[in-house]
């Protein structure tokens, strides 16, 4: 495990900026249902060897974890830097306390290859490009079989102002980033969750198998 200090971006998410996000994004039935539709599609690709444990990096209050709980019998884990979000995961019994970890994508307190499926949704976009490779390396280290990312796509890397905050949102082709830096990954599937039909925020997703 690396021992990375907080960055400008992770400090935002640990504080009021992160708390405001929680207020805007409840785990409502419709948000969980939208996530479940997407996860059903992704999990179909893993049917031959379904993950027995799953880690969400940047889980927030657990919208994806609630969706996954209804779809698959797997042990679920969360890494989340925001304390209020972690408390919600515990207080609302979304995960057992032992499965809720303080940390960052670049600093995950789990052993090598201990998790069958490691994924992010809307998290790589909030990591500064200078920290992206160390973050992906750490997720790759912990992953045994599968890695998935569900993120905003841009063919060329770009930074956008997010909620009036500079240096907080970075889009790129994250699928290409994974493949370019981790030669033992092969694409199992990818897709686009079009807002008009899915209720999700025009998200591009990739699921990889780790061959190494």
Ligand X SMILES: C[S@@+](CC[C@H](N)C(=O)[O-])C[C@H]1O[C@@H](n2cnc3c(N)ncnc32)[C@H](O)[C@@H]1O
**Positions that interact with ligand X (CB under 6 A):** 9-10, 13, 18, 21, 57-60, 63-64, 79-82, 85, 104-105, 121-123, 126-127
Output 79 or 207, the one with its CB closest to ligand X: 79
Instruction: State the minimum distance, in angstroms, from the CB of residue 48 to ligand X.
Output: 26
Smallest separation (angstroms) from ligand X to the CB of 192: 16
Q: Measured from the CB of residue 47, what is the shortest distance to ligand X in angstroms?
A: 23
Q: Of 20 and 49, which CB lies nearer to ligand X in the complex structure?
A: 20
Closest CB to ligand X among residues 13, 77 = 13
Closest approach of Cβ 94 to ligand X, in Å? Answer: 12
Give CA–CA dist 103/93, Å, rounded. Answer: 20
Least distance in angstroms from the C-beta of 10 to ligand X: 5
Select 49 or 158, whichever has its Cβ closest to ligand X.
Answer: 158
Specify which residues 76 forms β-bridges with.
Answer: 54
Q: Which is nearer to ligand X, 80 or 116 (CB)?
A: 80
Report which residue's Cβ sits closest to ligand X: 58
Q: CA-to-CA distance for 130 and 15, rounded, in angstroms?
A: 21
């Amino acid at each position: 495990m690396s021992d990375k200090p907080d960055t400008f971006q992770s400090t935002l998410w640990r504080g009021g900026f992160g708390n405001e996000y929680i207020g805007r994004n409840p785990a409502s039935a419709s948000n969980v249902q939208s996530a479940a539709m997407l996860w059903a599609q992704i999990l179909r690709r893993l049917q031959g060897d379904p993950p027995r444990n799953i880690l969400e990096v940047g889980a927030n209050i657990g919208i994806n974890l609630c969706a996954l709980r209804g779809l698959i019998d797997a042990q679920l884990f969360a890494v989340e830097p925001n304390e209020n979000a972690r408390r919600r995961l515990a207080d609302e019994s979304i995960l057992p306390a032992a499965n809720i970890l303080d940390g960052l994508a670049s600093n995950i307190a789990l052993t090598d290859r201990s998790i069958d499926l490691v994924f992010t949704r809307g998290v790589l976009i909030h990591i500064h490009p200078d920290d992206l490779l160390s973050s992906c390396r750490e997720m790759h280290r912990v992953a045994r079989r599968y890695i998935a990312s569900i993120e905003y796509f841009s063919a060329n890397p770009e930074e956008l102002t997010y909620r009036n905050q500079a240096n907080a949102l970075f889009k790129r082709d994250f699928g290409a980033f994974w493949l370019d830096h981790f030669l033992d990954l092969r694409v199992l599937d990818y897709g686009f969750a079009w807002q008009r039909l899915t209720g999700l925020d025009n998200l591009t997703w990739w699921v990889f198998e780790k061959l190494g």
